[in-house]
Amino acid sequence: MFLLSINRLLNLVTSSSIAYYSGNSKRYKLIFYYFLYGLIITLFSLKNNHKVKNRIMKVNCHYRGFTYEGAALAIAIKCMLFRNNVEKFEESTLSLSEGSIYQNYVALGWYLHARHKFKKSKYTYLNTKLNNRLSLIVFDGIGFKASIFNISGDITDKFNEFEIDQSRVCYQGYGRSLWFKSGFNIQTALYEIEKVPYKYKADVYSGLGLANAYSFFDKIETTLELTNLIPLDYRVAYIQGLSFGLEARRTQDARYWDETINSLPFSYIDIVNRMITIVHKAIEKFININDKTFYTIWVDEVRKEIKLAKIPCILDNKQE
């Protein structure tokens, strides 16, 4: 009965996506299967994070992060549906997995969009209740969730209901969704990005790179090599997204990170390490900033440093 419920939900989530019909449908279905698995086992557990964590730890390490994200969505429902207890949400998700902090806020965005859609006034309390440095990541979840279930019309106009930094992160979430909705086909995703307003395109490319690096971490060489397909004007933003996706993997599971990165040729290890160093350098530069716009400040600084370090040129040279 339990597995049957997950499979029914899985068919609902995946049947409208190109990925469901593509050569990557197995990976796509596994990602959403484990997301739903985390959602259901946590939703029906009785405040027993230890038991939930033990079950999640049995999941294949590549898909475990998606399971934690589903679990965070369940915690959001439990904490927010009747009590709007953001503090309890943060406490509960961190006790389940400190390494999944970025995914936790994305999952909260899923829940909040399901409840409030694009009613800006319903999100104002986040400015005072959530961790200032990470609260904007909620809007990535909003953009992703709004897009992944949208099968008609352009949903991105709705992102403009929010403040500029919030809109930017919604577009990042939209970019992540395009990676999935395109069936992990970068050319299909690039076609859709052409329809995005100019001032938000870089953020969409960032989301595309983030999703690519995270979901194909087990094929990171191929992921890095796809950079040469990105338009020159947006390669820095795309590589910034790749860097954030890699950082999310590193933070979440140190053992899986080490096993995967250490298996790469040295030249790729060097590139990955440079990217991660840039991400950390930007955090250290703004260590004393505790502002609700921290996330976009971080994004922009990482892009600047990637350009200065000529990471796009290094990746280009590997294609020759």
Residue 259 host element (H or E): helix 254-262
Q: Is residue 206 within 8 Å of residue 174, measured between CB atoms?
A: no
Mean pLDDT of 230-249: 97
Residue 305 confidence (pLDDT) above 90: yes
Mean pLDDT of 193-219: 97
Rg for the chain, CA atoms, rounded = 18
Mean pLDDT of 210-226: 95
Q: Which of 218, 150, 231 is nearest to 184 (CA)?
A: 218
pLDDT, tens only, 51-102: 899 999 999 999 999 999 999 999 999 888 777 788 888 889 988 988 999 9
pLDDT of residue 88: 86
**Which value, to the nearest 10 degrees, does the dihedral of the CA atoms of residues 64, 65, 71, 76 take?**
180
- CB-based contacts of 212, cutoff 8 Å, min separation 6: 179, 184, 186, 223, 226, 241, 242, 245
Residue 4 confidence (pLDDT) above 50: no
pLDDT, tens only, 137-186: 999 999 999 999 887 778 899 999 999 999 999 999 999 999 999 999 99
Q: pTM for the whole thing?
A: 0.92
pLDDT of residue 287: 87
Say how many domains are in the chain: 1
Residue 196 confidence (pLDDT) above 80: yes
What range defines the domain where residue 231 resides? 2-318
pLDDT band at residue 318 using 50, 70 and 90 as cut-offs? low
pLDDT of residue 121: 87
Residue 105 confidence (pLDDT) above 90: yes
Residue 265 confidence (pLDDT) above 70: yes
Mean pLDDT of 274-286: 95
What's the count of helices (H) and strands (E) in the chain, helices before strands?
A: 18, 0
pLDDT of residue 9: 52
Mean pLDDT of 128-135: 84
CA distance 175 to 239: 13
CA distance 269 to 266: 5
pLDDT of residue 46: 65
| Mean pLDDT lowest among 39-43, 62-66, 289-293 | 289-293
